[in-house]
Structure 1
Amino acid sequence: MIPAYKVRIHEGRRGLIVGIANDQSIAWGCAKAFRALGAEIAVTYLNDKAKPHVEPLAREVEAPIFMPLDVAKPGEMEAVFETIAKTWGRLDFVVHSIAFSPKEALGGRVIDVGRDGFLTTMDISCWSFIRMAHLAEPLMTHGGALFTMTYYGSQMVVEHYNIMGVAKAALEAAVRYLAAELGPGGIRVHAISPGPLATRAASGIPEFDELLEKARTKAPARQLVTIDDVGLATAFLAHDAARLITGETLYVDGGYHIID
């Protein structure tokens, strides 16, 4: 169910949401929030297997653009942005909510990660955001906002997060550099760092249930963040009220990251 808001602060704006896998995805929380606040949404799905799970959600947000996007497949990212250019002619925001590491890379020690596993992790989890920013820039002629999703394991060693923590640290550094480079054109760039969420992507992390319980008991708010919390925080940062905020890693985690 898309919530209803009387103030549609993103009326007339258009954005791309990448990373919806199902109705528990962080990207879905973002899509719901932006749509409820008036924005028009383009939605992508990973492949034919994922399409039946994502298509009903795309219909729910009335997405006029619904396309496959596997960032590991040459040309698919470019095709999405070409379609946006032809259909809309501009873009106001992008939400990049994808990450991947092969099981053998994610499950082992960082020091043991093979080159192929490392490169795949970095390519999908970090470089794809840089490439999306490159493709979005020409469409953001009147400024815009770019978002990616990160996690506390980028800054602190989190058990079982392993090589993904390395990739997220690189991603956060990329956010800062992109913010500096794109800022003169009115384009803002942020990393959103939610607390642990029970998403399909997170289920690949060993002993994730223990991580969820730790977050619930240690966070000052004493509760877990939801995809709707993340979506609304992201939508706020895309608004003109946040026009002078850029290059940040925003924690949406009930304060968990401030506790030792």
Structure 2
Amino acid sequence: MFSLAGKKALVVGIANEHSIAYGIAKALKSQGAEVAITYLNAKSRPYVEPLAAELKAPIFMPLNVQVSAQQDALFAAIADQWGTIDIIVHSIAFCPMEDLHGRVTDCSREGFLTAMDVSVHSFLRLIKAAEPMMPNGGTCMTVSYYGAEKVIDHYNIMGPVKSALESVTRYTAAELGPKGIRIHALSPGPLATRAASGIDHFDALLNAAADRAPTHHLATIDDVGAYAAFLASDGATNVTGGVHMIDGGYSIVS
């Protein structure tokens, strides 16, 4: 039905084989795209490097989004090797544990700013860097969660943070639409990823989501990848600005 042959994609956020970003990277590669992969730091590299090798990533570089020089080096390498880019995948979020596990009311200024910088503004930085390298349009995707829209027990400060991320998705989609650049937020139900494991009582959240969803199945990273691959394709050139629920219908049930 569609092909990504000839397209170039940057995937940010793979931590291990359970990562949503890995599911997306696999799907993009399977449809013919070339995939550049980043890793957070030396500690995470051994977990990510075998996956980058499996995906035959021509670019494999460190990216801590709070280190501007690393992003500059990454996009310089992309410009040198590819010249242009078609797809950006942003699948990262972070909040200091003491703020993540506390009440929204009690969130520290430092914790809030850190969560917003890593989880939201970094998406803007990637979009801005990619924009001049997308002369024929492209697709930028991030990952959200239903806690952006409704109060979810124990999701805490990440709810307001993901709300901001979804708003950024809409505003950038409006601004960049005339250039053919589409912006999307993917919103799977809870998945057992390394990042999600930091949420308090997460196992209970997984079980409740499976019980509540009409399909009674949690989304998988492959489900998210398949949807993302379609959104990156030419078949979705007139789709932008949405929050795409990939959750077995969890979000439609009151």
Asked if 1:102 is matched to 2:78, the reply is: no
Asked if 1:234 is matched to 2:228, the reply is: yes
Please state how far the C-alpha of 1:131 moved relative to its aligned partner: 0.6
Give the residue type in structure 1 aligned to 2:231: L
Please state how far the C-alpha of 1:78 moved relative to its aligned partner: 1.7
Is there any run of 5+ residues in structure 2 with no aligned partner, and where? none
The TM-score, its normalising length taken from structure 1, stands at 0.97
CA distance in 1, matches of 2:217, 2:24: 20
Structure 1 residue ranges (4+ consecutive) displaced by more than 2 angstroms after TM superposition: none
Please state how far the C-alpha of 1:77 moved relative to its aligned partner: 1.3
Once superposed, what is the RMSD of the aligned Cα atoms?
A: 0.8
Correspondent of 2:29 among 19, 24, 35: 35
Structure 2 SS opposite 1:57: helix
Correspondent of 2:166 among 158, 161, 172: 172
Is there any run of 5+ residues in structure 1 with no aligned partner, and where? 1-6
Q: Which moved more, 1:51-60 or 1:74-83?
A: 74-83
Partner of 1:57: 51
Correspondent of 1:45 among 35, 39, 48: 39
1:1-260, aligned counterparts within 5 Å? 9-260=3-254
Structure 1 SS opposite 2:75: helix
CA distance in 1, matches of 2:190, 2:184: 19
Contact kept in structure 2, 1:8 and 1:38, CA below 8 Å: no
Contact kept in structure 2, 1:45 and 1:68, CA below 8 Å: yes
Q: How many residues get paired?
A: 254
Give the residue type in structure 2 aligned to 1:37: Q
CA distance in 1, matches of 2:168, 2:106: 25
What does the per-residue CA deviation read over 1:214-235, in whole Å, with 9 as the maximum and x for residues that have no partner? 1111101111110000001011
Give the residue type in structure 2 aligned to 1:51: R
Please state how far the C-alpha of 1:74 moved relative to its aligned partner: 2.6
Identity of aligned residues (%): 56
CA distance in 2, matches of 1:95, 1:80: 14
Give the residue type in structure 2 aligned to 1:97: S
